[in-house]
Amino acid sequence: MNPAGWREYDSAAQASPATLAALRELAVSLLSDNMARVSGTTGLRAFHRPRPMAGTAVTVRTRGGDNLAIHRAFDFCRPGDVLVIDGAGELTQALMGDIMASYAESIGVQGLVIDGAIRDVGALSQRDFPVYARGVTHRGPYKNGPGEINVPVCVGGMVVHPGDIIVGDDDGVLAIAPADVDAVIEGARKTAAKEAVALQSIAEGRFDRSWVAVQRDRMMNG
């Protein structure tokens, strides 16, 4: 039995490499369009060179400004995982910097999603290892705990369950439930095809905007 405030659970089953490869080829915006456009993080931004991210969520909930549970969570990470850290949005102390990010990359973690602060952004910004965070401070973390591993968390307004599939690109980060991922991928591929047709019509000067007036009239008279 874990002491209060120190719950730790085994990591969930991982998404297949084929699923992750398919997700890396699709823009997060296309995936989001097929999840009612209300999913995904807000307020977090990328601190790395552009690179698509996809992996299985290992989650951490920690006291703001304290990273002991994050260090512990590395023992739960496998190649192909994304470490998702709920730091309560606290920005007064950095939860990690270049050393911890480098270690995460060395063990096969596919990216970090941090609702809290980081540091060493000069170094992180020169690499393509995905790091998303809420903000920056030079002030280092405490290492006192408590913290919880593989529990439901909230990052950037997005609830993440252990085992959710985490995707990210320049537009932000999205969590997809494993039971939904095949349908989301299929829908995103169809959306991508429609957008390709629209872009071609723009290039050829035949883009149809007739719907705008129709929709305006409907809203004004509705």
- Residues flagged as binding site for Mg(2+): 120
Residues in the chain: 222
The residue to which tokens 């007036």 are assigned: 213
Binding residues for substrate: 97-100, 119
Give 216's contacts (C-beta < 8 A, 6+ positions apart). Answer: none
Spell out the SS3 assignment of 16-74: CHHHHHHHHCCCHHHHHHCCCCCCCCCCCEECCCCCCEEEEEEEEEECCCECHHHHHHH
Report the C-alpha gap between 26 and 112 in whole angstroms.
19
CB 144 within 8 A of CB 66: yes
Biggest alpha carbon–alpha carbon distance for the chain: 67
Binding residues: 97-100, 119-120
Q: At what angle do helices 181-203 and 17-24 cross, to 10 degrees?
A: 20
